[in-house]
Amino acid sequence: SAELTQDPSVSVALGQTVRITCHGDSLRSYYVSWYQQKSGQAPRVVIHSKTKRPSGIPDRLSGSSSGNTASLTITGAQAEDEADYYCSSRDRSGNRVFGGGTKLTVL
Amino acid sequence: QVQLQESGPGLVKPSQTLSLTCAVSGDSVSSGNYYWTWIRQHPGKGLEWIGNIFHSGTTFYNPSLKSRVTILLDRSKNKFSLNLTSVTAADSARYFCARDQTGDWVGDRWFDTWGQGTLVTVSS
């Protein structure tokens, strides 16, 4: 099955910009989605269809994708953005796959 | 607004079958373009896709779990279920049910709704 690779942890100073990346060959063929999971909570989608934000997600979160790399960018990070972030896509067989997750720390 | 709620035993003995149910409200499990999904998360670890079922009854399973997993739809009760056989301590995790939405084409998928998850411990 396809694999998606993420950096285990990233940190950002309050108000600065951070990019969380996701690498995988499946991203050349299929769209990525991104999920935010805060401690003790269920994940929630923050970006789908590569770049679309569901209602209620602040516009400081944005998505992009090129080749085998997808990115989630947070412009002007806030304390409430501190969370684990997961990318997800699918493989040729229709199976779904998650990246290993990135823990974002806001300093 | 769609809501999902997992239920099932929090403790399962080794070698037995883990059985969970996800009750769906605000939508029908028979509606199109959705895959009804199970995902788990081991303590302190990442998300692992277990498998899903389409409204037609077609299933997809994680190859690493396929020999032990069955996902079923119960249209009359508007819910879907997970059975995981021959469990070991490695199956102790929080189990989430989720709705997997399809966009404009088959390569555009995302989990738009999640249950809160239920913690399952495998122990004698």
Angle at B110 between CA B22 and CA A60, to 5 degrees: 120
Nearest-CB residue to A31 (from B62, B96, B107)? B107
Give residue B62's pLDDT. Answer: 96
Question: What are the backbone dihedrals phi and psi of residue B89, each rounded to the nearest 5 degrees, phi first?
Answer: -60, -25
Beta bridge partners of residue A31, listed in sequence order: none
Q: Please give the C-alpha separations between residue B8 and each of A37, A59, B17, B95, in angstroms, as whole numbers.
A: 23, 38, 12, 10
**Which residues in chain B are closer than 8 Å to A101, comparing Cβ atoms?**
46-47
Q: Which amino acid is at B17?
A: T
| Segment B33-71, tens digit of pLDDT | 899 999 999 999 999 999 999 999 999 999 999 999 999
- In whole angstroms, what is the distance from residue B1 CA to residue B49 CA? 24
| Residue B63 forms contact with A (CB below 8 Å) | yes
Angle at A3 between CA B110 and CA A50, to 5 degrees: 35
| Residue A8 forms contact with B (CB below 8 Å) | no
| Segment B76-108, tens digit of pLDDT | 999 999 999 999 999 999 999 999 999 988 889
Does the structure show a pLDDT above 80 at A2? no
A35 Cβ partners below 8 Å, 6+ apart?
A: A43, A44, A45, A46, A85, A86, A87, A88, B47, B111
| Segment A56-105, tens digit of pLDDT | 999 999 999 999 999 999 999 999 999 999 999 998 888 999 999 999 99
Nearest-CB residue to A98 (from B49, B104, B117)? B49
C-alpha dihedral, A24 to B70 to B94 to A102, nearest 10°: 0
Give residue A73's pLDDT. Answer: 98
**Which residues in chain A are closer than 8 Å to B101, comparing Cβ atoms?**
48
Pick the residue from chain B with its C-alpha nearest to A92: B107
Pick the residue from chain B with its C-alpha nearest to A90: B107
Q: Which of residues 28-57 of B touch A (CB under 8 A)?
A: 37, 46-49, 52
Give residue B33's pLDDT. Answer: 82
Q: Is B116 left (phi over 0), alpha (psi -120 to 50) or beta?
A: alpha
Beta bridge partners of residue B23, listed in sequence order: B5, B79
Q: How many CA atoms lie within 13 A of A49 on its CB side?
A: 10
Give residue A94's pLDDT. Answer: 87
Does the structure show a pLDDT above 70 at A1? no
| Segment A36-51, tens digit of pLDDT | 999 999 999 999 998 9
Residue A7 C-alpha, separation from nearest chain B C-alpha, in angstroms: 12
| Residue A76 forms contact with B (CB below 8 Å) | no
Give residue B32's pLDDT. Answer: 78
Does the structure show a pLDDT above 80 at B19? yes
DSSP A24: -
- In whole angstroms, what is the distance from residue A100 CA to residue A94 CA? 19
